[in-house]
Amino acid sequence: MDDLDRAIDMTARLVAFDTESSKSNIPLIDFIESYLREQKIAFSRAPNAAGDKAAIFATIGPMREGGVVLSGHTDVVPVEGQEWTSDPFTLRRDGGRLYGRGAVDMKGFGAVALAMIPEFKKAALTRPIHILLSYDEETTCLGPLDMIARLGVDLPRPNAVIVGEPTSMQVADAHKSVTTHLTRVRGFEIHSANLHRGVSAVHVACRLVTELERIGDEIRAEGDPSGRFDPPFSTVHVGVIKGGTARNIVAKDCEFEWEFRGLPNADPMLAQNRLAPYVENLRKTVFADFPQCGVDLDTLVKVPGLSPQPGSAAETLALRLARRNNTIAVPYATEAGHFQRAGVPTVVCGPGRIDQAHQPDEYVDVSELAACVEFMRALARELEA
């Protein structure tokens, strides 16, 4: 079995685990641990507080600083409500494509990294190759943080990190941040016939959503000075809203979830900071005679953006390995920003196209996995020197 066949086989094995973000990834991590033991590879496991999820960090080569981390996530988005033509957790090959949940986002990359371990072991590595597979990237991006905190403490500090999200094996040196918010409105409940004697949390929430849309338009007009992103601006989006009890009851409660996707240098709290004066005006007007009413602005998660670092160790290495002459920017967020904040140069480069992610009949092209295999072969040669 050659390297590509091993990568395809490993992709099938990883896809077979249903690791939707709402579920445990422990069975998959147990499988990876068993594989690493068979390969006699040193590894460390970092469970979450609940113990139902874990990240794993493996090292091939000398246990010293100066190596490269290949980083990916094990969780996938849900399949419920999607129309698949085959079992999403059974990898299906059709021509040059491999279909299955996570095939492109991003078990394919993790599978290639694991499948290449026998080749990595054969190389006379003078610097290590690390594989970090984490959890909850699709929800909070907090899964790798425990391992990142250990770099340079009880785990070797690398010179570069390559996050394997799908970029068609192009090298991305920049991506947007994502800040997620939960806004709660507390109204005054009363019969709707006496609307003027209450405060509708639903009505106020709608006003806030409208204000966020205005703020989004305002931010959009500020554009993207770098000219690299699509869309070329930071964005504001309200994804979920719920509240009220019945048609004829003035709503006591309403809440909505929303996000700000910011250009790398934008303040992650930009949109909420611009919403705050509007909320303060509501307190002075709509809520003036209703002290029990109000608006709570909660921030749930901050995923930092990835800022360009021209000439960094990660960029220089990845461009050489991928045989590319220039970098790109991507609009989605990854754990790359967390590595960069920890002081480790980081880029994003992985097999497949992001427009296949999260879709029914998600797939990765076999040719993309083959290109990733070549990338990792080149990495092994690089770290022999």
Instruction: Give the number of other CB atoms < 10 A from CB of residue 112.
Output: 29
Which run of H or E residues covers position 114? helix 108-115
Tell me the per-residue pLDDT of 180-218, one tens digit each, with 9 for 90 and over: 999 999 999 999 999 999 999 999 999 999 999 999 999
Tell me the per-residue pLDDT of 297-346, one tens digit each, with 9 for 90 and over: 999 999 999 999 999 999 999 999 999 999 999 989 999 999 999 999 99
Which pLDDT value is given to residue 76? 98
Which pLDDT value is given to residue 42? 96
Which residues 6+ apart lie within 8 Å of 114 measured at CB?
10, 32, 35, 131
Tell me the per-residue pLDDT of 344-372, one tens digit each, with 9 for 90 and over: 999 999 999 999 999 999 999 999 999 99
Give the integer Cα–Cα distance in Å for 112 and 10: 7
Mean pLDDT of 36-45: 98
Structural domains for the chain: 3-175+305-382 (3.40.630.10), 177-303 (3.30.70.360)
pLDDT at 151 over 90: yes
Could you tell me if residue 325 is left (phi over 0), alpha (psi between -120 and 50 degrees) or otherwise beta?
Answer: alpha
Which pLDDT value is given to residue 1? 72
What share of the chain in percent tops pLDDT 90? 99
Mean pLDDT (the chain) is 97
pLDDT at 385 over 90: no
Write down the H helix ranges in 201-328.
201-222, 270-284, 313-322
Q: How confident is the model at residue 117 (pLDDT cuts 50, 70, 90)?
A: very high
Nearest Cα residue to 236 out of 202, 269, 203, 276: 269
Which residues 6+ apart lie within 8 Å of 381 measured at CB?
123
Helix (H, G, I), strand (E, B), or coil: what is residue 130?
strand
Helix (H, G, I), strand (E, B), or coil: what is residue 152?
coil
Q: How confident is the model at residue 123 (pLDDT cuts 50, 70, 90)?
A: very high
Amino acid, res. 18:
D
What share of the chain in percent tops pLDDT 70? 100
Give the integer Cα–Cα distance in Å for 276 and 326: 40
Cβ-contact 3, 75 below 8 angstroms: no
Cβ-contact 206, 183 below 8 angstroms: no
Give the integer Cα–Cα distance in Å for 206 and 255: 10
Which residues 6+ apart lie within 8 Å of 111 measured at CB?
7, 8, 10, 11, 13, 14, 369
Cβ-contact 104, 91 below 8 angstroms: no
* Structure tokens that stand for 339 in this block: 């590595």
Tell me the per-residue pLDDT of 55-77, one tens digit each, with 9 for 90 and over: 999 999 999 999 999 999 999 99
Give the integer Cα–Cα distance in Å for 163 and 337: 10
State the DSSP code for 196: G
